[in-house]
Amino acid sequence: MTAIRLQINGAAIADEVLPRISLADYLRERHNLTGTHLGCEHGVCGACTVLVDGEPVRACLSLAVSCDAREVKTIEGLANDPVMKALRDVFHCHHGLQCGFCTPGMLISAHDLIRRGLAISEAEIRRGLAGNICRCTGYTNIIAAIAEAAAALAKGSLDAE
Ligand code: FES
Ligand code: FES
């Protein structure tokens, strides 16, 4: 076992983990943060996307030990984030999900795109979401939802933290 200290959704954690456990398994099994979904488990689908030190990463490809001294944020940790709240609303209005399996990863990637000012056109949103696979929606409604949230943010009707 390896000792680690990290922050998860703002809480300081000191723990001991198996060196081989993935960040996704650690979050889901040890902390019950099951909003981090596991699809392909080899870095292709994006369902497991979380933020590590503010950057989107594949939790299935990251080791928990590699997050020592780092800050991890999952979809649960963004529950009260104003951009995420807006994204949830527009996903709802545009029917941007069906089974919902891809949705946490989609939302975290969309949140990152908006925060970095990259959700400026349909083409840019599609490029930014290239690492997130959805088997249900055909993407059109997801793109429309993100574009609406980005436009609202640009107009100042949302207040990004
Ligand atoms: S489960 Fe991690 S990328 Fe698919
Ligand atoms: S809503 Fe089912 S995989 Fe995207």
Q: Is there an atom of ligand 2 within 6 Å of 129 CB?
A: no
Mutate-to-test residue for ligand 2 from 102, 108, 129, highest number of ligand atoms within 8 A of CB? 102
User: pLDDT of 4-24, one tens digit each?
Assistant: 999 999 999 999 999 999 999
Which protein residue's CA is at the shortest distance from atom 4 of ligand 2? Answer: 134
Q: Is there an atom of ligand 2 within 6 Å of 102 CB?
A: yes
Domains and CATH numbers, the chain: 2-77 (3.10.20.30), 80-154 (1.10.150.120)
- The yes-or-no verdict on residue 158 having pLDDT over 80 is no
Question: Cβ contacts of residue 23 below 8 Å, gap of 6+?
Answer: 50, 52, 57, 59, 60, 62, 63, 64, 66, 67, 72
Q: Is there an atom of ligand 2 within 6 Å of 135 CB?
A: yes
Our measurement of the distance from residue 2's CA atom to the centroid of its chain's CA atoms, rounded to an integer in Å, reads 26
Q: Is there an atom of ligand 1 within 6 Å of 145 CB?
A: no
Rounded to an integer, the average pLDDT of 140-156 is 93
- The yes-or-no verdict on residue 138 having pLDDT over 60 is yes
- The yes-or-no verdict on residue 28 having pLDDT over 70 is yes
- The yes-or-no verdict on residue 43 having pLDDT over 80 is yes
Question: Would you state the pLDDT for residue 161?
Answer: 45
Q: 157 falls in which pLDDT band (50, 70, 90)?
A: low
- The yes-or-no verdict on residue 130 having pLDDT over 50 is yes
- The yes-or-no verdict on residue 129 having pLDDT over 70 is yes
User: pLDDT of 45-92, one tens digit each?
Assistant: 999 999 999 999 999 999 999 999 999 999 999 999 999 999 999 999
- Tell me the ligand closest to 62's alpha carbon: 1
Q: Distance (Å, rounded) from C-alpha 140 to C-alpha 149?
A: 14
